[in-house]
Amino acid sequence: MDGLESENKFQSNIFESEIKNSSEAGPVIAEGFSSSAGYNFDNLEALESVRSLNEEDIRRLTISRKSLYVAFDPIVKKSNEESNSRKEAVENSLVTDKAVLTSSPQSSGSNKSLNISDNKMNQSITKDEKISNSPKTNDREKIYQDKIEKLECEIKNLRNECIADKEKIKNLTNSLITVTKSKDQLSTVIGEYEKTISDMVSKKEDVHKEYEARIAYIEEERAKMERHLQNSEMAFNDVHEKYNSSKQVIEAMKENETKYKNCIKEFEESLKKYEDKYMRLKIHATEQMNKATEEINDKERSFEAETSKMRIMNKRLEVKVRSLQESLDRKDVENAELTNLCDELIGKLDRK
The HSE-up count of residue 98 (CA atoms within 13 Å, CB side) is: 15
CA distance 132 to 27: 9
On whether the CB atoms of residues 296 and 182 are closer than 8 A, the answer is no
CA distance 73 to 306: 59
CA distance 262 to 255: 11
On whether the CB atoms of residues 218 and 257 are closer than 8 A, the answer is yes
pLDDT by residue for the chain (352 residues), tens digit each?
A: 444 455 455 455 544 554 444 444 444 444 444 444 444 444 445 445 544 444 555 555 454 444 444 445 554 455 555 555 555 654 555 555 445 444 443 334 444 444 444 454 455 445 444 444 455 677 778 888 888 888 889 888 888 888 988 888 989 899 889 888 888 888 888 888 888 888 888 888 888 888 889 898 988 888 888 887 777 777 777 777 777 888 888 898 999 999 989 999 999 999 999 999 989 999 999 999 999 899 999 988 888 888 888 888 888 888 988 889 888 888 888 888 888 888 888 888 877 6
Among 169, 123, 124, 126, residue whose Cα is nearest residue 302: 169
The HSE-up count of residue 164 (CA atoms within 13 Å, CB side) is: 9
Residue type, 352: K
On whether the CB atoms of residues 162 and 317 are closer than 8 A, the answer is no
Radius of gyration of the chain (CA): 53
CA distance 117 to 119: 5
Can you spell out the DSSP letters for 36-66? STT--TT-HHHHHHHHHHHHHHHHHHHHHHS
Residue type, 337: E
pLDDT at position 98: 47
User: Is the entire prediction scored with pTM above 0.85?
Assistant: no
On whether the CB atoms of residues 243 and 229 are closer than 8 A, the answer is yes
- CB contact set of 221 (below 8 Å; sequence gap of 6+): 253
